[in-house]
Structure 1
């Protein structure tokens, strides 16, 4: 009798695991942002206290980068992204979304590396969730119409 109960428990557990993974995979794939779709709107405040909305940048290309200072790939791509920020024309806006770190940590990181780009801290994960970001770094290039032109998951070694 114990063997039968143990076998039923194992079968129930295995079925539950398979259902959870298949359900999450389906849900995650439907929530991913597709190239060509409208970029999710968000309201945020930069660490300097400036209010920003994605819609404020309609008519411009927006480079939206999700990162964290503990992320090795993020740290490696930062000098390139900082150069892009410094050299871009008025038609291109860069906005960096730090995922989950404190304002003090982010400010110290920027100061230590002489980076001057605008940073929003996504403490609650609301913005990264809206974009389906599940790993860092992640970069989205949004065209002047507010549509995602390109999604780059992983480290950028050369800007497109």
Structure 2
């Protein structure tokens, strides 16, 4: 009986590997890690503009995965606006808030309520989120991408010390033209 159970488990695992469904999960539910190329996707901003992440090569990009129902996101967003976006946009930084699973009207209200000037994009079904982390994993999380499209920093939740390290990584990358 034990042999049959082990054989069944092995067959199931082999089936997952062969079907391409196996995913390596890193810290905090990430499916990517520092040094990986950033998965490409189409960005549909709440304001109507559409483009691919790969169109931003040559720029430093910050993806902020967020949602209106996320209290930690709401805590972090004013710091992103004031300490990263406002000073960074002058030197070519792109910040995009990727709003998870919410309709356009809710995203527009969220942007207004939070008084952020960086763009928020739509992610219905959390398909973009699912390229970077397990769909069951939570927001807030930030992904920093260098000019070549490589991931250079990842965060989960809002921790002031980690936020300051992320800020340092962003502004070091911006200075390293």
TM bucket (normalised to shorter chain) is 0.7 to 0.9
Is the contact between residue 141 and residue 148 of structure 1 (CA under 8 Å) also seen in structure 2?
yes
- Alignment gaps of 5+ in structure 2: 17-21, 167-177
Q: CA deviation at 1:28?
A: 4.8
Runs of 4+ in 1 over 6 A off after TM superposition: none
TM-score of the superposition, structure 1-length normalised? 0.78
Q: Which of 138, 146, 156 is matched with 1:143 structurally?
A: 146
- Once the two structures are superposed, residues 12-53 of structure 1 have per-residue CA deviations (whole angstroms, 9 ceiling, x without a partner) of 9xxx9xx99xx8xx7352771011010000112101110121
Q: Distance in 2 between matches of 1:156 and 1:77?
A: 9
- Once the two structures are superposed, residues 99-146 of structure 1 have per-residue CA deviations (whole angstroms, 9 ceiling, x without a partner) of 011111111122123222111110121100001152110100000000
Q: Distance in 2 between matches of 1:72 and 1:135?
A: 12
What is the count of residue pairs matched by the alignment? 141
* 1:63 to 1:97, Cα distance in 2 relative to 1, 3 A: same
2:56 corresponds to which residue?
Answer: 57
Is the contact between residue 59 and residue 91 of structure 1 (CA under 8 Å) also seen in structure 2?
no
Is the contact between residue 28 and residue 132 of structure 1 (CA under 8 Å) also seen in structure 2?
no
TM-score of the superposition, structure 2-length normalised? 0.71
Q: RMSD of the TM alignment (CA)?
A: 2.4
- Alignment gaps of 5+ in structure 1: 1-11
* 1:156 to 1:47, Cα distance in 2 relative to 1, 3 A: farther
Is 1:93 paired with 2:94? Answer: yes
- Once the two structures are superposed, residues 66-115 of structure 1 have per-residue CA deviations (whole angstroms, 9 ceiling, x without a partner) of 00111111010010111221221333110110001111111112212322
Q: Distance in 1 between matches of 2:36 and 2:124?
A: 25
Is 1:124 paired with 2:125? Answer: yes
Q: Which has the larger radius of gyration?
A: 1
1:8 corresponds to which residue?
Answer: none
